[in-house]
Amino acid sequence: MYDHPGIRKIREVRSLCDRASVRHKTGLFVTEGERLCSEVPSEDIKEIYISESYRAKHPDTKADYLLTDAEFAKLSDTKHPQGILITARQKTYRMEDILGGNLYLLLETIQDPGNLGTIIRTAEAAGVSAVIMSADCADIYSPKVTRATMGAVFRVPFIYTDDITSTVDALKKDGVTIYAGHLDGRLMGEVRPAERRAFLIGNEGAGLSEKTAASADEKIRIPMKGKAESLNAAVSAALLIYWGTI
């Protein structure tokens, strides 16, 4: 038997989709759709919501709440809901949990959800040990970011930091060489990457702040032809983290 969530519960789930402050306060987030819901670790699942049409197609689905299709559409953050949604517990990592790795991404003020999600997805594919984000980056648990990660959010360790330069110093002390993606840097082909390395990627429009760029051991420039002045942040991150690995 399924319960009906009621108006209050529906509003609570909707607020998890819409408001980062609610996600931070509760330690919960929402993931939606068959693919992403199948990726959520069972121990992190809090509640499962399905629509009537989803139940008709998947009668054996275990869920906590059943909604009409119209109700589910109001709950959903997508234009074409698949009829299944999960509220899940957020994972938390500490700096000491991520030290000792060989490949890191450090992101400063990456605010576009699609960019951040794509970076997390690429980080998993490249074997990144952890992703470190400045506090003003987009919320990794916003629905748009989690969708763009294609499930990588459940597997790639990450932390937010209030002081990215202090975090850079901690990685340096751990033996990691820090490279900043920067237009004033040396061309990638002129530098041999260190075995243990981290890459600093800056804001989509402004790039890295001067202070953060200066904290790197070396600045690296991606070669570009034509009149292009810069690359998309997610593209830059992909090129840098794969540099020297293939």
pLDDT tens digit sequence for 51-70: 999 999 999 999 999 999 99
pLDDT tens digit sequence for 137-192: 999 999 999 999 999 999 999 999 999 999 999 999 999 999 999 888 899 889 99
pLDDT tens digit sequence for 117-126: 999 999 999 9
Q: Please report, in angstroms and rounded to a whole number, the separation of the first and last CA atoms in the chain.
A: 52
Position 227 scores a pLDDT of 77
For residue 87, what are the contacts with CB-CB under 8 A and spacing of at least 6?
13, 16, 28, 29, 30, 45, 46, 47, 49
Q: How many CA atoms lie within 13 A of 2 on its CB side?
A: 20
Position 183 scores a pLDDT of 84
Average pLDDT, the chain: 93
For residue 77, what are the contacts with CB-CB under 8 A and spacing of at least 6?
17, 30, 32, 143, 144
Which domains, and CATH codes, for the chain? 6-89 (3.30.1330.30), 95-242 (3.40.1280.10)
How crowded is residue 158: how many other Cβ atoms within 10 Å of its Cβ? 21
How much is the average pLDDT of 76-96? 93
CA distance 19 to 243: 37
Banded pLDDT at 246 (limits 50, 70, 90): low
Banded pLDDT at 244 (limits 50, 70, 90): low
